[in-house]
């Protein structure tokens, strides 16, 4: 899924007045977190650290799990608008989508071992 596809889906599903720059900031923060906390912690993942997001940039999480980007942005929009119930719904849906992605990643790739960092005296 590309950045442009995510932003288009968000605007269709959740009309909002936030600037494209603000939504790109949220999306870039999520992409960085996904890379650092999930993808880079698994062996055999062939992803590079995310760079600047352009409209045609392909995001790290592939189909069928890429819906998590839209769900995350829906939660951010609801949070910024102080819409507690919508935020809770979107955050729960994002959490479930993220969990599904992490489980699939763990089934396909072994976690990076921290054993190399331990030293027995």
pLDDT at 119: 58
Average confidence (pLDDT) per 10 residues, the chain, 121 residues: 96 96 96 91 80 92 96 98 97 98 89 63 60
Side-chain half-sphere of 91: how many Cα atoms within 13 Å?
11
pLDDT at 120: 61
The verdict on residue 50 lying in a domain is yes
The verdict on residue 58 lying in a domain is yes
The verdict on residue 72 lying in a domain is yes
Cβ atoms of 101 and 61 within 8 Å: the answer is: yes
Domain count, the chain: 1
- Within 8 A by CB and 6+ apart from 96, the residues are none
Q: Which domain holds residue 33?
A: 3-113
pLDDT at 7: 97
The verdict on residue 120 lying in a domain is no
pLDDT at 114: 63
The verdict on residue 47 lying in a domain is yes
Q: Compute the distance between CA of residue 110 and CA of residue 41 in angstroms, rounded to an integer.
A: 9
Global confidence as pTM? 0.88
């Amino acid at each position: 899924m590309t950045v442009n596809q995510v932003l288009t889906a968000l605007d269709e599903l959740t009309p909002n007045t936030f600037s494209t720059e603000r939504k790109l900031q949220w999306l870039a923060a999520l992409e960085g977190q996904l890379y650092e906390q999930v993808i880079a912690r698994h062996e055999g993942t062939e992803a590079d650290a995310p760079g600047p997001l352009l409209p045609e940039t392909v995001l790290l999480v592939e189909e069928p799990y890429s819906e998590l980007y839209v769900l995350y942005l829906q939660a951010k929009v609801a949070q910024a608008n102080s819409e507690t119930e919508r935020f809770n719904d979107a955050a729960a849906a994002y959490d479930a989508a993220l969990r599904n992605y992490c489980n699939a990643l763990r089934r396909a790739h072994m976690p990076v071992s921290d054993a190399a960092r331990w030293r027995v005296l």
